[in-house]
Structure 1
């Protein structure tokens, strides 16, 4: 148990067939079930149709318009898909045990999931499980469990071995500052270009000014108004290495680059800071560099709010920004499993609401639980009202990675 909470661990494996294995912590017996071979194609079709990841020759706007008319376009379509997905992924034996052991949701279970490449982008917050083995009543999986994505066991063991060194390198004393990199200026890219602004021109009355109100005196870099925090041009890798050891959390909002297919390397996944190389060209900070540079010491709580920042497990050899952060000291990493639409493409401000939710989760002793509760609220609002401000294209994209 974790703090008195029951822990259920799931493993997905895929090859010529797909399997799920699960075990309750503290019990020797494991359970396994072969999944329908068609499930893999169902997931791939969903990713192709429903997610706003741009296809070849498709613009970002075209990709979003496609997604807004796909399987997540309406509450009913989302509910139907979430039910089909739950039935395909989670055997009845598992879900009934989950409901029973959670006291019908009175004490949510901690569910840690080891995903396979195809399962890496599953929107767990949308899954709707049957509440009775032979009935038609359904409820959200998040009514009975807090869901987190577990990093590979070999990476977890390595991260724990490195924790002692990370503790030594951290600045002594209480770490109270939060490093906030908010829409940094990428050298050589105008605001409306491919690596331009994700939030638009910073205004001091921006909704995200709440970041300063919540963290008076505890923000790194120091800022008194939002326009001093966003769209900065002085936040490079040297600066980042110097401030992370002083911090209790790291919030990144900006561009992320990832490989586009399974043959790519997750080590090339990158944050786009304000860095240039010796020739003056923009020089992204890759996961591989973070791994190879021992001067990088991450705080325990991290959030990467960028397109595909949490796609580490989609690669045949899992790697990416989330795993790199874990291997440099992080315990919880909030990240996105697909492309996140910006507020410029949608009415209301769902991206800003997501950023504020992630920031609040970083303050929690258990960011995975905090994000799940927020996602549960968003799901309830979406299924009730169907307003685009609650579209699952944003909130369902977020996973919290744990050891």
Structure 2
């Protein structure tokens, strides 16, 4: 997981990019602490598990942080850790103990949130659409940018599409979202980048300009 929070919260510094993906301290308690301190915005880039549509439980969508499998919450452990679910973001610790706290108190969302991970914005696939994006809105976000489907990684573009390693489409998409969320009009800024990619695609651009990435990133504004 890699995250960025602005104003009043600083992601632990790293000497190399690889270290950001090898940390063990960026768990839900760390996230709760920095959000309570008043982060201006949140950018999450990492693994997301979408809930299966046939189950009908959109609240089972999860963010994968660095939480120990012994962490008490509402999601089942996965591969040696316990992910943070949309249900957790809504209910917090209320179902777990008598003095529990609601999710909005534990993880108050800043005004601008971006969740860049596979199907992080897949809420509307369900009849009752309460997933990660909706949870962030419930907890206070005014703008949520998330992804509708599974995103191809840079590695996939290199291995399957034969792009040179210097071309990093997913990284460019992440930077575009990050830049847009710094703009006074983030929706217009992100839309401008998406239209530029559409123009390049229609003009015969390469796979790096295909809708696989830029069309997967809508924004919800409340």
1:224 is displaced (CA, Å) by: 5.5
Rg (Cα) greater in structure: 1
RMSD value, Cα:
2.2
Residue of structure 2 in register with 1:249 after alignment: 41
Aligned with 1:251: secondary structure? strand
Please name the residue that 1:178 is paired with: none
Q: TM-score, normalised by structure 1?
A: 0.45
- Residues 282, 230 of structure 1: alpha-carbon distance in 2 compared, 3 angstrom cutoff: closer
The CA distance in 2 between the partners of 1:398 and 1:275, in whole Å, is: 27
- Which secondary structure state, in structure 1, belongs to the residue aligned with residue 53 of structure 2? coil
Q: Which residue of 1 aligns with 2:2?
A: 182
Q: Secondary structure of the equivalent of 1:398?
A: coil
The normalised TM-score by structure 2 is: 0.79
The C-alpha deviation readout for 1:345-403, integer Å capped at 9, x for no partner, is 11221100011111111112232222111101111111113211111101111110111
Q: Moved runs in structure 1, 4+ residues, more than 4 A?
A: none
Aligned to 2:194, what secondary structure does the other structure show?
Answer: helix
For structure 2, the residue ranges without an aligned partner over 5 or more in a row are 72-76, 92-102, 158-162
Match of 2:111 in 1: 300
Q: 1:359 matched to which residue of 2?
A: 178
Instruction: Indicate the residue corresponding to 1:330 in structure 2.
Output: 141
Whether the aligned pair in 1 keeps the contact of 2:9 and 2:34 (CA below 8 Å) is no
Unaligned runs of 5+ in 1: 1-180, 184-210
Aligned equivalents of 1:378, 1:265: Cα separation in 2: 34
Residue of structure 2 equivalent to 1:368: 187
Shift of 1:247: 1.3
Secondary structure in 2 aligned to 1:303? Answer: strand
> 1:227 offset after TM fit, Å?
3.8
Q: State the alpha-carbon separation in 2 of the partners of residues 237 and 303 from structure 1.
A: 17
Q: Secondary structure at the match of 2:187?
A: helix
Q: How many residues align?
A: 192
Q: Which has the higher strand share?
A: 1
The correspondence for 1:400, drawn from 212, 219, 222, is 219
Aligned equivalents of 1:385 and 1:284: distance in 2? 41
Q: Deviations over 1:34-77 (max 9, x none)?
A: xxxxxxxxxxxxxxxxxxxxxxxxxxxxxxxxxxxxxxxxxxxx
